[in-house]
A = this chain, B = another copy of it.
Amino acid sequence: MAKELLEGNAAIAEAAIRAGLEAFFGYPITPQTEVLEVLSGRLLEEGRVFLQAESEIASINMVYGSACTGTRVMTSSSSPGISLMQEGLSYIACSEVPAVVINVMRGGPGLGNIQPSQGDYFQAVKGAGHGDFHSIVLAPATVQECIDLVTLAFDLADKYRTICMVVADGNIGQIMEPAELPPFRPVRTAAEKAQLSWALTGAHDRRHRVITSLYLGAEKLEAVNLRLQAKLRRIEQNEVRYKEYETDGADLLLVAFGTVGRICQTVTRQARAEGIRVGLLRPVTLWPFPSARIAELAPQVKQILVVEMNAGQMVEDVRLAVAGRTPVDFYGRLGGIVPFPDEILSQVRAFAPQTEPGATK
Contact = CB atoms under 8 A, between A and B. Distances in A.
A323 B322 CA distance: 8
Contacts of A322: 324
A221 B334 contact: yes
A316 to B, nearest CB: 6
A333 B219 CA distance: 10
Contact of A109 (B117, B213, B334): B213
Most buried by B among A108, A130, A133: A130
A323 B319 contact: yes
Contacts of A80: 87, 90-91, 130
A122 B129 CA distance: 9
Given A58-B58, A108-B132, A221 B95 contact: no
B320 A316 contact: yes
A95 B115 contact: no
Given A80-B87, A311-B132, A111 B335 contact: no
Nearest to A222: B335
A220 B340 CA distance: 18
A91 B120 contact: no
Nearest to A338: B218
A28 interface: no
A195 interface: no
A107 B218 contact: yes
A54 B228 CA distance: 29
Given A123-B127, A127-B123, A93 B113 contact: no
Interface string A200-223: 001000000000111111111111
A133 B108 CA distance: 9
A218 to B, nearest CB: 4
A62 B62 CA distance: 14
Q: Which 3 A-B pairs have the closest CB atoms?
A: A108-B131, A110-B213, A127-B127
11 contacts: A52-B65, A80-B90, A86-B123, A90-B108, A95-B110, A109-B130, A109-B131, A113-B215, A120-B127, A222-B334, A229-B311
Given A113-B214, A123-B130, A221-B336, 6 more contacts: A90-B108, A107-B221, A113-B215, A119-B132, A120-B127, A127-B127
Interface of A: 41, 49, 51-54, 57-58, 61-62, 65, 79-84, 86-87, 89-95, 105, 107-115, 117, 119-120, 122-124, 126-133, 202, 212-226, 228-229, 310-311, 313, 316, 319-320, 322-325, 333-337
